[in-house]
Chains A and B, each alone.
Chain A
């Protein structure tokens, strides 16, 4: 028995001997020292970035599995890309089982932090910010995991992204929780993804609060099974500042939740209020596309148990003002384009249907009417996303 205990001690000692901490402090040559640590780290290691401002000129990248990058706090350790002259993002991660925590990325020229094909990635207590507020010259995405299985984004803040603050694309098994996203075009966006839980976030003063989209001509399409619940989605009325051409440039200012071209999306127990256009917008993809595998309508969407406040008082889309006038001065809090199947809205608020009959049809042809979408025949919700043990352990 004693020998087993001794062996266990020995094993523990040898494990910790292998896991090294690489400390990097602010100062001259921060670029090369920090990037050097990110290259020399071994699986299991921690790259610890000290407090202070790190002046960086090029993107950083991590390509080693099972490495933690840890700062001294989201307001203490600042990776400052104000003078960036190279690379498309501040930090890029391309390896699995990575934990990013307690540091900030400021003013990167492109995206803030991107992780691609990085399975089981954790973003925890990270801040990404463009410090000059909403501006079309800001980078596109703040926190940007893509093409990954098992993604956790929590306790983080994103401010000023000219596309989406937190954008999860072409991924599956996703949890986005306890984040604060403000002054972005889209606060949180789940796109072309499967199985996502978005909960207990605060999305305020963006153009659109939380978006669930699917787009054509991409390697992963057919987004489905997304739950958006217990979020505070409030006052997302910032004028759209996305560069034209981007899909979010079409999101009307004053949008709380927008579901587009997606299936099996459940929106419940949120507080959604103070949105000039609409608290909840349910629409098909309207652009022309050439992709036989793409389905542009929404299906199996269930909206219930939300607390909905004032909405529809300043519609920011073509024909919106006339539409509002026609239905009594303000638009109802839920707006549906009329396309799609199995759409149930059990919130006790009126729903306006535009009465469109095909995706892409001009709003000029709308046949607006109040829609009765409440039903006792409610669809089953997607199952809760369960993360692997290793990720749960990483954030305990």
Chain B
């Protein structure tokens, strides 16, 4: 009897070693706040970020800037289900789905294949009650990441693309700060995975093949890559950049709804987009200037002034940016400089 049991356990151990357990859909859909990221089994190797079955890595045409952090993005949709295609906004994900995003820094950005130090992984869990956002901070040894609902500041340093040493106090957002960017009418909403920002010509079809997405029409919309001059006009690239970096708050249902400045890609009213729009509650953020965007005059435009600032009472976005995004600033400067002076 004992021998049989021992054999059985041995066999079980062998089986579990050869086929790693699948993603813990029940934890995603449940109502607990798992303490460890490993509980979800999104990765098969901890900090190595090797995704489990049905955990699919993806990129966006135009991503959000976060202090030059490297980001790994993954989507998980439970077996037998698919996300619903939506042309205008983000896709409709079924209960039990998750979006997983890790933030880290290359030791040396001149060597993209070199070591990456992952700092945190944020997860968005689709539950019956809606989306829940949770931040997890990686252990020093990279064995696991631990839930940190109150967020934390951690030192981060790296060698940048120009060979300069960079050092910041990296802010892992607290759970409420997740919501600041992800709020739509007070509920948590997705930002990135929209048809237009995922669509690179092949990705949506792949998602359908992998049974992540239910369908993709041939005429799915697409925003350009903000940093590819061969892709779209300057105006389109600038607006894609503002859409991704600003419009998560600056939209009619977002955290900055009271500003009346809405930077969504489809916004058509010039004043609402900032052109000759006066500030309301900018305070020091106005920089002494009269308009969010003064056509032809980036040097007198509040929008650019706040992108360039590092002071937390002035800087935009308010969260997740301590450094200036020099390339983004250059794009928006050109966008405003080449605008017709008449608006």
- Chain A contact residues, CB within 8 Å of chain B: 31-33, 35-36, 38-40, 57-58, 61-63, 84-88, 92, 94, 108-111, 116-117, 136-141, 144, 146-147, 162-163, 167, 169-170, 215, 217-219, 243-247, 287, 289-291
Contacts and interface: CB of A to CB of B under 8 A. Distances in A.
Nearest to B153: A57
Contacts of B283: 110-111, 139-141, 162-163, 243, 246
A94 B179 contact: yes
Given A116-B258, A217-B271, 7 more contacts: A35-B150, A58-B151, A58-B171, A110-B284, A139-B284, A140-B281, A169-B258
Contacts of B318: 86-88, 110
A218 B260 contact: yes
B38 interface: no
Contacts of A291: 271
A32 B179 CA distance: 17
Contact of B322 (A39, A86, A92, A144): A86
A141 B281 contact: yes
Contacts of A290: 270-271, 276
Contacts of B284: 110, 136-140, 162, 243
B180 interface: yes
Contact of A244 (B280, B289, B312): B289
A243 B176 contact: no
A32 B152 CA distance: 7
A116 B272 CA distance: 20
A163 B229 CA distance: 41
Interface in B243-295: 252, 255, 257-258, 260, 270-272, 276-290
Contact of A218 (B150, B255, B258): B258
24 contacts: A32-B152, A58-B151, A58-B171, A61-B180, A84-B312, A85-B322, A86-B171, A86-B312, A87-B177, A87-B312, A87-B318, A88-B313, A88-B318, A110-B284, A110-B312, A116-B255, A139-B284, A140-B281, A144-B281, A163-B283, A215-B278, A219-B258, A245-B288, A246-B282
B319 interface: yes
B237 interface: no
Contacts of A109: 311-313
B149 interface: yes
A169 B281 contact: yes
Contacts of B174: 35, 39, 61
Contacts of A244: 286, 288-290
A217 B285 CA distance: 18
Contacts of B258: 116, 146-147, 169-170, 218-219
Contact of B290 (A40, A94, A215, A245): A245
A61 B286 contact: no
Among B153, B277, B278, the one with the most A-chain Cβ atoms within 10 Å of its Cβ is B278
A247 B271 contact: no
Given A169-B281, A215-B280, A245-B279, A32 B150 contact: yes
A110 B174 CA distance: 19
Contacts of B152: 32
Interface string B143-178: 000000111110000000000000001010011110
Contacts of A217: 260, 271-272, 277-278
B280 A218 contact: yes
Nearest to A110: B313
Nearest to A147: B258
Contacts of B290: 244-245
Given A35-B174, A147-B258, A163 B281 contact: yes
B186 A117 contact: yes
Contacts, number: 139
A360 to B, nearest CB: 13
B150 A36 contact: yes
B279 A246 contact: yes
B212 interface: no
A97 B195 CA distance: 38
B77 interface: no
B302 interface: yes
A39 B150 contact: yes
A219 B259 CA distance: 8
Nearest to A57: B153
5 cross-chain pairs, A with B, having the tightest CB-CB distances, nearest first: A140-B283, A245-B286, A109-B313, A36-B150, A88-B318
Among A33, A88, A138, A217, the one with the most B-chain Cβ atoms within 10 Å of its Cβ is A88
A147 B151 contact: no
Contacts of B272: 217
Contact of B319 (A57, A86, A111, A138): A86
Contacts of B179: 63, 94
A172 B180 CA distance: 23
Contacts of B171: 58, 86
A38 B179 CA distance: 14
Contact of A139 (B175, B277, B279, B313): B313
A58 B173 CA distance: 10
A58 B319 CA distance: 10
A117 B322 CA distance: 27
Contacts of A36: 149-150
Contact of A85 (B252, B278, B312): B312
Contacts of A88: 312-313, 318
A60 to B, nearest CB: 9
A291 B281 CA distance: 18
Contacts of A87: 177, 312, 318-319
A116 B281 CA distance: 13
Contacts of A246: 279, 282-283, 286
Nearest to A146: B258
Contacts of B252: 219
Nearest to A171: B258
Contact of A245 (B180, B183, B186, B302): B302
Among B149, B287, B288, B313, the one with the most A-chain Cβ atoms within 10 Å of its Cβ is B313
Nearest to A35: B150
Contacts of B255: 116
A217 B267 CA distance: 14
Contacts of A218: 258, 260, 280
Nearest to A244: B288
B176 A63 contact: yes
Contacts of B153: 57-58
Among B180, B183, B258, B288, the one with the most A-chain Cβ atoms within 10 Å of its Cβ is B258
